[in-house]
Amino acid sequence: MKVVDAIAQILKIEGVEYLFAYPVNHIIEAAAKVGIRPIIVRQERVGLHMADALSRMTSGERIGVFCMQSGPGSENAFGGVAQAYGDSVPIVVLPMGYPRAITNVPPNFNSFLNYRHVTKSCEQVILPQAVPDALRRAFTQVRNGRPRPALVEIPHDLFGEELPQPLQYRPTPTLRYGPDAGQVRKVADVLLKASRPVLYAGQGVHYAKGWQALRDLAELLEAPVTTSLGGKSAFPENHPLSLGSGGKAMPHTVHHFLHQADVIFGIGCSFSITNFGVRMPKGKTIVHATLDPADINKDVEVEYALVGDARLTLEALGDEIRDRLGGKPRGRKEQVAQEIKTLKGEWLAKWMPKLTSKEVPLSPYRVLWDLLHTVDVANTVITHDAGSPRDQLSPFWEAITPLSYIGWGKTTQLGYGLGLAMGAKLALPDRLCINVWGDAAIGFTGMDFETAVRERIPILSILFNNFSMAMELPIMPVSTEKYRSTDISGNYADMARAFGGYGERVTTPDEIIPAIKRGIQKTEEGTPALLEFLTAKEIEFSLFP
């Protein structure tokens, strides 16, 4: 068997259904032969974003795989891999390499050398018989421990060589590890003694499918729950104990409860310091439960820590605490829920003028509020983009089912959301998959709306066109005034139609909901839809510095 056919067989054995790709890479042909559907994008970055969403939406059970050519292909793909690394997403990346004779000769781009610091594992295979082992290692890496990209570079001249033996390959396992029982007892003590504990859930809860265990623990402790952006939708945000999600912008409840807390219990999170995550207030007792010990004491000094899978950790803690309480919560819930309800009501009331604004150009908040009240939220997957749309969407979108919000932002590449929505739609075809982005973001990856049309991936794209990088206005006043440096332009509804999709430009408030309904209808008919809302340069956010 030729190396290239062995690779396709291995992908098949690993359960790969889609190969996200951009030519030339000979795996594309070999994969098609064995019934793996290639999804060809318009630029490498977007293919990686799609692979990324496929892994996210299946909690890593189905692994997104991307392949590309040597040189320009792997050079161009860098951003997509770096984003997946920043956000800890398990994907397998298969660049073609230059022929072995010139792989280390300048100026040839060598993926093995260049990708080392944005991957969890990175190798170049130079012998045919080493290919199955390299792929086994890569898939084992992405299915176990901290999720992050694994890369295997295959030199061009290796594909056509014969494997010396028949292919022998078993699917790689996912193995979970749980926390130390002694530490669990200690943490249970701390949580039970706390008078105002807050649970802070990260995306580890999604990968561990620990949603029910998180809910059980919160209800036992009668403790409020917030999430990071990555963890958003791990806890139903309409639950009486939900504070909503944190990010750069957040509901008042998140800030208030974290600041009033005595103990903060982080589960499946890294506590990384970032502009797009909640800063943990000083002087709190921090308990850090995470899969990766490398995160402990990384950005936040912790007093107590647990290492292990988020679901196993939550279940172990739940069992311990249930025993200690004799199965009965202590009757705190009403008071906590009332405090949340009052604060949330006051906060929303303050934002209501924007959320229901009748102004023209449209308020992005009004569009999002109408969107939230038009779609079937439980059966939707939505993602933001970098820039203002993220901070306008995440505090106000009430995610009520697991994996219904793709939150991200350890690094914040404009244009990421489109590929995420497309990958999500492939993973969960029965859900309405939406990306919300600004006119700067579409400038990066908008051409791939054509991919959605051509590859029949009917997503709904919500675009805020304010003809500006509004977020940069306060940062670039002189260049804006003198040279109009923050202005941008375009007619993106026309663009969507030119690509064969549905496109509509919406300018007045009364048209928002009818347009959303028409867009959804189009997606149900199989056509991707782009709704371009002409919006105000809104840069007021729900911030609590």
Ligand X SMILES: Cc1ncc(C[n+]2csc(CCOP(=O)(O)OP(=O)(O)O)c2C)c(N)n1
Q: Report the interface residues with ligand X, using CB under 6 A.
A: 386-388, 412-414, 438-441, 464, 466, 468-472
471 binds, among Mg ion, ligand X, none (CB under 5 to 8 A by kind): ligand X
5 binds, among ligand X, Mg ion, none (CB under 5 to 8 A by kind): none
Tell me whether residue 412 or residue 468 sits nearer to Mg ion (CB atom).
Answer: 468
With beta carbons less than 8 A apart as the criterion, state whether 60 and 104 touch: no
Phi, psi of 261 (to 5 degrees): -70, 150
DSSP state of 262: S
Tell me whether residue 145 or residue 443 sits nearer to Mg ion (CB atom).
Answer: 443
Q: Does 25 bind Mg ion (CB under 5 A)?
A: no
Tell me whether residue 461 or residue 466 sits nearer to Mg ion (CB atom).
Answer: 466
17 binds, among ligand X, Mg ion, none (CB under 5 to 8 A by kind): none
Q: Which residue among 59, 466, 486, 542 contacts Mg ion (CB under 5 A)?
A: 466
Q: How far is the CB of 416 from Mg ion (least distance, A)?
A: 16
Secondary structure (H, E, C), 266-329: EECCCCCCCCCCCCCCCCCEEEEEECCHHHCCCCCCCCEEEECCHHHHHHHHHHHHHHHCCCCC
Q: How far is the CB of 254 from Mg ion (least distance, A)?
A: 26
Q: Which stretch binds Mg ion (CB under 5 A): 43-51, 340-348, 424-432, 439-447?
A: 439-447
Site string for Mg ion, 467-506 (x = CB under 5 A): -x--------------------------------------
Tell me whether residue 110 or residue 468 sits nearer to ligand X (CB atom).
Answer: 468
55 binds, among ligand X, Mg ion, none (CB under 5 to 8 A by kind): none
Q: 3-state SS of the chain: helix, strand, coil percent to 5?
A: 45, 15, 40
274 binds, among ligand X, Mg ion, none (CB under 5 to 8 A by kind): none
Q: Does 415 bind Mg ion (CB under 5 A)?
A: no
Q: Which stretch binds Mg ion (CB under 5 A): 105-113, 120-128, 143-151, 432-440?
A: 432-440
d(CA 112, CA 477): 43
303 CB-near residues (< 8 Å, 6+ apart): 190, 285, 286, 287
Residue bearing tokens 């990686």: 48
Q: Does 439 bind Mg ion (CB under 5 A)?
A: yes
Residue 472 CB neighbour total at 10 angstroms: 17
Total of residues contacting Mg ion (CB under 5 A):
4
414 binds, among Mg ion, ligand X, none (CB under 5 to 8 A by kind): ligand X
Residue 324 CB neighbour total at 10 angstroms: 14
Q: Which stretch binds Mg ion (CB under 5 A): 287-295, 398-406, 437-445, 524-532?
A: 437-445
With beta carbons less than 8 A apart as the criterion, state whether 243 and 285 touch: no
d(CA 364, CA 354): 8
Q: Does 446 bind Mg ion (CB under 5 A)?
A: no
Tell me whether residue 200 or residue 437 sits nearer to ligand X (CB atom).
Answer: 437
Q: How far is the CB of 184 from Mg ion (least distance, A)?
A: 48
542 binds, among ligand X, Mg ion, none (CB under 5 to 8 A by kind): none
d(CA 301, CA 289): 13
C-alpha angle 247/43/233, rounded to 5°?
A: 25
Tell me whether residue 177 or residue 483 sits nearer to Mg ion (CB atom).
Answer: 483
The two three-digit tokens of residue 468, written as one number:
């500006």
Tell me whether residue 226 or residue 388 sits nearer to Mg ion (CB atom).
Answer: 388
Q: How far is the CB of 465 from Mg ion (least distance, A)?
A: 7
d(CA 377, CA 407): 15
CB burial string 80-101: b at 16+ within 10 A, e below: bbbbbbbbbbbbbbbbbbbeee
Tell me whether residue 378 or residue 475 sits nearer to ligand X (CB atom).
Answer: 475
Nearest residue to 292 (alpha-carbon basis) of 369, 353, 220, 203? 203
Tell me whether residue 400 or residue 476 sits nearer to ligand X (CB atom).
Answer: 476
Binding site for Mg ion (CB under 5 A): 438-439, 466, 468
